[in-house]
Amino acid sequence: MTDRALSGMRILDLTQFEAGTTCTQFLGWLGADVLKIEPPGGEQSRRNRPEVPGLDAMFFLVFNANKRSVMLDLKHPEGRALFLRMVEHADVVVENFAPGLMEKLGLDYERLRAVNPRIIMARIKGFGLSGPYHEYKSFDMIAQATGGVMSVTGFADREPVRCGAAIGDTGTGVHAAAAIMAAYIQRQRTGEGQLVEVAMQEVVANFLRGRFVDHYRDGAASVRRGNEITGGVPGDAYPCAPGGLNDYAYIYVQTMNADMWRDFVTAIGREDLLADPRCTDARTRWQHRDALNDIISAWTRTRTKHQVMAELGKAGVPCGAVLDTAEILDDPHLNARGQIHTIEHATRGRLRLPGSPVRLSASPAPTTPPPLAGEHTAEVLAEVLGLSTDEIAELRARGVVAP
């Protein structure tokens, strides 16, 4: 096997749904050996809104590539004992169970540390391990609400809107992965593991940092502004001519300085705006944004979003067509860069999904198919603990491991 950035790192993955599974999948892309420890019947997101009865749901598949599955009953005393034996041979344990469950199982950090002082335990919670909210359960949209993102998303005359991408879940997972790698590097110096704690609310609040500019400038809470960038024209989503598979035709255009403004008006054939008193500087353009946005929209409506992106992009104007999920999978740029990976799943067939979002020149990041429930149980127990076929069969007979 090709040596990769995290080759040699062994992770016991107790995660479910999205925040935790994103973390471990990210580390798996970078070469870690991720052993997904699942309860009998499999991790519950395998059954989360399944598209095909009896098969793993797509929700599970998109977050669990690059892993091996071990089905182990942690509620069974022998199952817990077996897990602790695996901890002795692991570098990292990651969990995002409901608050208090690991303590109830007797598998909190102090217990794992007693077995392996080098273990790094990452605990992902909605509100952390302390504080007034620490017992509350959370999902992505709860984190978006309590982290402040919903308060600034949407239009001023409508209710708050959650971001369509799961920034509370996936954002937390990526933060957790970064923290685990930092702890792993520190362990190389100290020889000691540590507890890694990541709270979803805090990650989302961290994403909100830019909006505190509004808070301190205006002396009041930042508000919902739709697609507008405060003080910037152009700085909005502009309608384009219908084209492609649907009529969802918008492009986002933003200029940040005088040079970009000059390049923009030149590209749209409106150099006259350079001498227009409404366009003297960013402040005056913002004051007359309604009239200027009408001029911009009149131009964008005569072209498809892809044509606008090509024309403005080549002119040095920051812009981006609003792409939907189908367009993302077929996007010529992403495909040319090898970012859209094709995998062959045992039961769901051929799937196309985005691959690793980071690239290391000396560490390839392939995408391997998500495992079937318990697919690697015997393989891993033999490899990690040296158990024989007969010993594994006895554990199965007693309901400690499955299938």
Is residue 379 within 8 A of residue 401, CB to CB? The reply is no
Are 73 and 184 in the same domain?
Answer: yes
DSSP 98: S
Kindly name the residue from 73, 140, 169, 236 that is annotated as catalytic. Answer: 169
* Domain harbouring 308, CATH code: 3.30.1540.10
Per the structure, the count of domains in the chain is 2
* Domain harbouring 103, CATH code: 3.40.50.10540
Does the annotation count 281 as an active-site position? no
In a domain, 213, yes or no: no
Are 154 and 303 in the same domain?
Answer: no
Are 187 and 256 in the same domain?
Answer: no
Are 354 and 305 in the same domain?
Answer: no
Is residue 100 within 8 A of residue 135, CB to CB? The reply is yes
In a domain, 214, yes or no: no
Q: Give the range of the structural domain holding residue 384, as residue numbers without chain letter.
A: 10-207+333-402
In a domain, 224, yes or no: no
Joined tokens for residue 381: 């127990």
Is residue 279 within 8 A of residue 292, CB to CB? The reply is yes
Are 262 and 395 in the same domain?
Answer: no
Q: Considering 268, 299, 321, which residue would you say is the last residue of a domain?
A: 321
Spell out the alpha helix ranges (H) of 67-166: 77-87, 101-105, 109-115, 140-146
In a domain, 326, yes or no: no
Residue identified by tokens 């991408």 is 165
pLDDT tens, position by position, 216-274? 999 999 999 999 988 889 999 999 998 654 556 899 999 999 999 999 999 999 999 99
Are 185 and 285 in the same domain?
Answer: no
The angle at the Cα of 223, spanning 217 to 228, to the nearest 5 degrees, equals 90
pLDDT tens, position by position, 342-381? 999 999 999 999 999 999 999 999 999 999 999 999 999 9
Are 179 and 66 in the same domain?
Answer: yes
Are 142 and 274 in the same domain?
Answer: no
In a domain, 200, yes or no: yes
In a domain, 327, yes or no: no
Tens of each residue's pLDDT in the chain, 403 residues: 579 999 999 999 999 999 999 999 999 999 999 999 999 999 999 999 999 999 999 999 999 999 999 999 999 999 999 999 999 999 999 999 999 999 999 999 999 999 999 999 999 999 999 999 999 999 999 999 999 999 999 999 999 999 999 999 999 999 999 999 999 999 999 999 999 999 999 999 999 999 999 999 999 999 999 999 888 899 999 999 986 545 568 999 999 999 999 999 999 999 999 999 999 999 999 999 999 999 999 999 999 999 999 999 999 999 999 999 999 999 999 999 999 999 999 999 999 999 999 999 999 999 999 999 999 999 999 999 999 999 999 999 999 998 7
Are 159 and 305 in the same domain?
Answer: no
Are 153 and 279 in the same domain?
Answer: no
- What's the predicted TM-score (pTM) here? 0.95
Are 133 and 273 in the same domain?
Answer: no
